[in-house]
């Protein structure tokens, strides 16, 4: 097995070499990237595992993974990594990031799996639903989107995307109740041991709602949120991503250590709020904080539970448009009876009343997601056909 360390800091290189030797994983130390490229260019000697214990080499790691993915698996070892670089590295299918704090465990896992061929394609598009406060109907909208985007399309009866809905409300999540499935996503079981996450465990965690819609929803039990580390969350998303076209993420209303990084790494972000004066203020605040993050993702503001007049027109449309000027925004009307029926039946409203006005509001969100996030995957499938 070929394996190399390249780094600019002699102390970090030596530390990583000692950790590797301790788990029976011998590595060679190379003086720089030029020497590494010579090694990777040697024909007929198999794939190499490359460890780069230097944050300054992150961009080089992405380029190496893109250029040499058939002959090498590139690993950045650092406490943090720029979200855009991490996203680009993982999407090559030939790279990963591990943290110093869990380095020994993660290296052991990499030794077992790095020789497997890189997965084809770019993995799922990640669409994150971020509530501006509690009680804005974020989970209900995620459930509606999952059913819509995975179901038969109106045009020609085409099959929908392969979709996973992922509930990250580890304390008090309601996605399983909303879709009437068994909550099996017990990520706390592997807290501190992300190396246990693999395809087989992902199968244990999922609940199947429909042929092309899988649900990952946590069971109702007390979870210490500090145990759900960023590495655990991101490793799980990386594990399931190759199986789907879209992963729809239901974020909690509270900010956790991995929340902003997940938003930064998403392909699209749907920020949800309600049409009250305090609710609109919180929505604008949330959007402003997301604007400050280094993310290129498109953002949609969804104002939920908006009142309408006798003609079905939104009564505060002008105020909402003024507050959200220059942003993509959609209003979803209040329909307490319809949503209560959906909640009691365990079926999304788009299934029990697909032609109602509220259903049409919800479909507009799905169309926005398709246009922003799903189009590259659709284009790839179309060109292959």
- 185 and 321 both lie in a single domain: yes
- Look up the CATH number of the domain holding residue 15: 3.40.50.2300
Give the pLDDT score at 113.
57
Q: Please calculate the CA angle 43-45-47 and round it to the nearest 5 degrees.
A: 105
Euclidean distance between CA atoms 162 and 142, whole angstroms? 15
Give the pLDDT score at 151.
86
Pairing relation of β-strands 213-216 and 298-306?
Answer: unpaired
- 72 and 152 both lie in a single domain: no
In a domain, 62, yes or no: yes
Give the pLDDT score at 379.
36
Give the pLDDT score at 172.
82
In order of 123, 148, 215, the CA distances from 248 in angstroms are 13, 12, 10
- 33 and 142 both lie in a single domain: no
Q: By C-alpha distance, which of 51, 53, 102 is closest to 73?
A: 51
In a domain, 118, yes or no: no
The H or E element that residue 50 is part of is strand 48-52
Give the pLDDT score at 201.
81
The total number of structural domains that make up the chain: 2
- 96 and 131 both lie in a single domain: no
SS3 247: strand
In a domain, 120, yes or no: no
In a domain, 77, yes or no: yes
154 φ, ψ to 5°?
A: -65, -35
Q: Length of the chain, please?
A: 385
Give the pLDDT score at 153.
61
Residue 164 token pair: 């996973």
In a domain, 105, yes or no: yes
- 25 and 131 both lie in a single domain: no
SS3 351: helix
- 56 and 183 both lie in a single domain: no
- 234 and 100 both lie in a single domain: no
Give the pLDDT score at 51.
92
Give the pLDDT score at 226.
74
Give the pLDDT score at 350.
84
CA 266 to chain centre: 6
75 φ, ψ to 5°?
A: -125, 120
Give the pLDDT score at 183.
94
pLDDT tens by residue, the chain, 385 residues: 578 999 878 888 898 888 877 776 678 899 889 999 888 887 655 678 899 988 788 899 999 988 888 788 899 998 888 888 888 888 787 888 888 888 887 887 776 555 333 433 457 899 999 999 999 999 999 999 999 999 876 434 455 789 999 999 998 889 999 999 999 998 878 776 666 667 778 888 999 999 899 999 999 887 777 778 777 888 888 889 888 999 999 999 998 888 888 898 888 999 999 999 999 999 999 999 998 886 656 889 999 999 999 888 999 899 999 999 989 999 999 988 888 888 888 888 888 887 788 989 999 999 999 888 754 434 333 333 3
Give the pLDDT score at 355.
79
Final residue of a structural domain among 75, 90, 113: 113
- Look up the CATH number of the domain holding residue 203: 3.40.50.300
Residue 100 token pair: 């110093």
In a domain, 43, yes or no: yes
For residue 215, the enclosing domain spans: 125-384
- 148 and 213 both lie in a single domain: yes
In order of 3, 7, 73, 107, the CA distances from 23 in angstroms are 14, 20, 19, 8
- 106 and 129 both lie in a single domain: no
CB within 8 A of 107, min separation 6: which ones? Answer: 19, 20, 23, 25, 98
- 248 and 323 both lie in a single domain: yes
Residue 360 token pair: 């049409």
DSSP-derived secondary structure letter, 314? B
The H or E element that residue 248 is part of is strand 246-250
- 98 and 144 both lie in a single domain: no
Q: By C-alpha distance, which of 24, 100, 38 is closest to 68?
A: 38
Give the pLDDT score at 52.
92
Final residue of a structural domain among 82, 113, 144: 113
In a domain, 196, yes or no: yes
Alpha helices in 259-374 (DSSP H): 259-264, 277-291, 317-323, 336-345, 349-352, 357-369
Pairing relation of β-strands 213-216 and 207-210?
Answer: antiparallel
Give the pLDDT score at 69.
82
- 206 and 271 both lie in a single domain: yes
In a domain, 119, yes or no: no
Final residue of a structural domain among 54, 81, 113: 113
Q: Please calculate the CA angle 20-82-374 and round it to the nearest 5 degrees.
A: 110
- Gyration radius of the chain over CA positions: 23
Q: By C-alpha distance, which of 318, 312, 264 is closest to 130?
A: 264
């Amino acid at each position: 097995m070929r394996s190399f360390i390249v780094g600019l800091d002699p102390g970090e290189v030596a530390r990583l070499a000692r950790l590797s030797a301790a788990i029976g994983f011998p590595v060679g130390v190379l003086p720089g990237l030029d020497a590494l490229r010579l090694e990777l260019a040697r024909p007929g000697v198999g794939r190499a595992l490359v460890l780069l214990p230097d944050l300054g080499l992150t961009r080089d790691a992405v380029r190496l993974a893109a250029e040499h993915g058939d002959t090498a698996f590139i690993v950045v070892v650092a406490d943090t990594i720029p979200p855009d670089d991490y996203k680009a590295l993982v999407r090559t299918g030939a790279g990963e990031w591990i943290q110093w704090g869990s380095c020994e465990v993660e290296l052991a896992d990499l030794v077992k799996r790095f020789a497997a061929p890189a997965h084809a394609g770019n993995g799922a598009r990640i669409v994150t639903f971020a509530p501006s406060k509690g009680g804005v109907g974020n989970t209900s909208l995620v459930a509606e989107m999952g059913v819509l985007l995975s179901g038969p399309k109106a045009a020609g009866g085409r099959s929908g995307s392969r979709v996973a809905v992922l509930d990250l409300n580890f304390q008090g999540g309601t996605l399983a109740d909303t879709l009437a499935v068994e909550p099996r996503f017990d990520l706390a079981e592997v807290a501190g041991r992300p190396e246990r996450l693999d395809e087989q465990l992902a199968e244990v965690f999922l609940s199947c709602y429909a042929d092309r819609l899988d649900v990952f929803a946590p069971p109702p039990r007390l979870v210490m949120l500090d145990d759900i580390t960023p590495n655990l969350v991101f490793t799980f998303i990386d594990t399931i991503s190759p199986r789907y076209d879209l992963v729809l993420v239901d974020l909690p209303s509270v900010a956790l250590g991995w929340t902003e990084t997940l938003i930064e790494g998403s392909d699209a972000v749907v920020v949800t709020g309600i049409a009250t004066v305090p609710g609109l203020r919180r929505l604008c605040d949330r959007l402003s904080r997301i604007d400050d993050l280094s993310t290129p993702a498109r953002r949609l503001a969804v104002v939920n539970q908006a009142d309408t007049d006798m003609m079905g027109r939104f009564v505060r449309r002008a105020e909402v448009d003024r507050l959200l000027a220059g942003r993509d925004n959609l209003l979803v009307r209040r329909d307490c009876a319809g949503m209560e029926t959906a909640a009691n039946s365990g079926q999304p409203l788009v299934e029990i009343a697909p032609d109602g006005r509220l259903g049409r509001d919800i479909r507009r969100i799905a169309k926005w997601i398709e246009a922003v996030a799903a189009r590259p995957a659709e284009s790839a499938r179309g060109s292959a056909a």
